[in-house]
Structure 1
């Protein structure tokens, strides 16, 4: 009798194995489940409808909150295998808080459907602001992508209620002149540094380029030495000096693998068309990620680790995010991904084992990107252009 039972079990196992055809998929979160699938393809564009977006996360979920995901290539194209049925296709950059789109689709078994280019544009969720600079116009790149940013002033930085309505603030190189700050010593303006610290600690993100390093680590119009007065980032975390010479930096490398894949290149030449640009002297590698470098010299860095425990809790950002939360989706393989979802879906994700907050960095803070280069007056910035586009979409 026992032998008959074992024989029945063995036959059942064989049947299960043979039932898994080419039109099925095994979710890595639930390796015992087999489902019928189809494909959805398309191309991710910026809001202008012409600029492809590489490195965008494209995913959908099933009824058990298993996630099926892929990333867009450098040309914006994607192809995702997902379970059959009606679902929502999510397209996000960064952690999904600031730029994301949702597209209803119906996946058909063994078929491939194509998302129309008009539906796969990346929407701007974030409310963005910038301070006008003398040598950098990141707002020009923002508008060229089809997005909008509001001009604010240095004086606005003194009011936390003003800046807390934004998700992202862009600090252009050359935005700390006497005409803008009203003082020859903005390094003494602790109110500005305190507000920027509070802004980032509560989830706001900053872009700072070249001489705008003074907002981060101190200095007046720019940072002339390490341990400059002012700033809100400790000097042991970052040190800069305005000793860069004008000319081309050849053979620079995109050292971050995800960034290189999103861009479609991993080497570039950078034209520093003016001297006295801020060279990074020292940095803490546990705090900063190096994204672009020349040899061992970092040229673009990013952190999501900033926090100020004494900063007051202040709501930051647009009300459009009130019903969305950012979570870390956990998979059986450990290939965890950060996504932003409607908060109504949280209970199912939590039951699945997902956790609140991003998969890396500080759970409550925003990101800080610092670039030694920017778009300059001559306009010919070459491959630095796509890098700055990436920064905008991933803050």
Structure 2
């Protein structure tokens, strides 16, 4: 009986080890994915177009042949390491949602190897058409130029011409540029209407200090709430020119901006009095990027929630000729990012859960950035200068 029992055990063991008639296929563990994608790494340093300034907080990404995204961001020194699928890939480098500044790189990624991209490849290119209105106290154009980008000077008369305004993707309003309001208020009524049309159709604006009057009304500056003029609803923002001279301790209130800067606290030198203090804002409409540490007062805000009724549909800047589309993609951890991708990829990304348009805000609105501080002609801006570089690249 014992011999029969041993014989049966031997037969069972033989059946398991033979595995169906001598087939030599390996047994795959339940914890191992047999379709793991072979990957390598790409390293590099994102630089401004003239190669002089590192760009922090830039999105660096690519897709595999099943349209899965591989994504990272550059650190405050512009450095990045991207894990990417092996093979011939297109690497995208973008700031903001990629509609105004972006670069595409062709690279061959090898399995389990690291490829260092040359600095000449990783320069962030300007796609946007940029304009600025000359101011009394600001020269944002100097910061634009130090990054190697170009901007065209326009006037308030140009702002009153919608055809001219619509040529651009971004318009910078330097502090003090609204200084002839009292002599020609009718001109600014037209400007307000044109700026509303511009932003509602995807154009972006940066205004500093006294030029909040372009947004909410007023003459050279804004001394009270609910003044005549402007195009942003008075219920969304109030600013008064009651700021005092002095150093203000500030805190960066946005994770993306902190990554790009490499710091989250700074001192801002308000060396001119009567600067515009934000006294009230709608937190559902505006995002606070920088605030005063002691009082929590907002010092830098942005929105892409602008909408207006009766505004004509108007092609803005490069949009009519662009082959890129803004989409919202969800990363692991439920992190949502807005990126610009080639139009041909959109149906496949949507099938994987992406949505067309930005992750937040109005689907057609451009950005409005407003800072109570500005870049003085004297250059006395300190760390605020790095913040203004971020503003330029993320509009």
Normalised to the residue count of structure 1, the TM-score between the two structures is 0.90
Of 263, 266, 272, the match for 1:265: 263
Deviations 1:176-228 (A, max 9, x none): 122xx5x4353873211111001000000000000100100000111111111
Q: Can you list the C-alpha shifts for 1:50-69, whole angstroms capped at 9, x where unaligned?
A: 20000000000011111000
Report the equivalent of 2:156. Answer: 154
- Equivalent of 1:286, from 277, 284, 287? 284
Counting only pairs closer than 5 Å after superposition, residues 10-29 of structure 1 correspond to structure 2 as 15-16=28-29
Deviations 1:134-161 (A, max 9, x none): 0000000000000000000001111111
Aligned partner of 2:47 in structure 1 is 45
Contact 2:63–2:69 (CA under 8 A) maintained in structure 1: yes
Aligned to 1:236: 235
Structure 2 equivalent of residue 101 of structure 1: 103
- The count of aligned residue pairs is 375
The answer as to 2:343 corresponding to 1:343 is yes
Kindly provide the CA deviation profile for residues 13-65 of structure 1, in whole angstroms up to 9, marking residues without a partner as x.
Answer: 96245756xxxxxxxxxxx9521111000000011202000000000001111
Residue by residue over 1:60-89, the C-alpha shift from the partner in whole angstroms, topping out at 9 and shown as x without a partner, is: 001111100000000000001111001000
- Contact 2:159 2:191 (8 Å CA) reproduced: yes
1:92 has 2:94 as partner:
yes
Q: Which residue, out of 170, 173, 176, partners 2:172?
A: 170
Q: Which residue of 2 aligns with 1:23?
A: none
Instruction: Determine helix, strand or coil for the equivalent of 1:88.
Output: strand
Question: Offset of 1:378 from its aligned partner?
Answer: 2.5
Distance 1:342 1:327 in 2: 10
CA distance in 2, matches of 1:331, 1:244: 41
Give the gaps of 5 or more residues in structure 2. Answer: 1-14, 20-24
Q: Secondary structure at the match of 1:330?
A: strand
Cα separation, 1, equivalents of 2:353 and 2:105: 26
Cα pair 2:157 2:187 within 8 Å, conserved = no
Q: CA deviation at 1:276?
A: 0.6
CA distance, structure 2, for counterparts of residue 294 and residue 142 of structure 1: 26
Q: Which of structure 1's runs of 4+ aligned residues deviate more than 6 A?
A: none
Unaligned runs of 5+ in 1: 21-31
Larger radius of gyration: 2
Equivalent residue, structure 2, for 1:203: 202
Shift of 1:324: 1.2
2:332 and 2:292 map into 1 onto residues whose CA distance is: 37
Q: How much does 1:123 deviate?
A: 0.2
Map 1:1-395 → 2, pairs under 5 A:
15-16=28-29, 33-178=35-180, 183-184=182-183, 186=185, 189-249=188-248, 251-295=249-293, 296-318=296-318, 321-331=321-331, 333-395=333-395
Q: CA RMSD in A?
A: 2.2
After superposition, the Cα gap between the structure-2 partners of 1:237 and 1:13, relative to the gap in structure 1 and judged at 3 Å, is farther
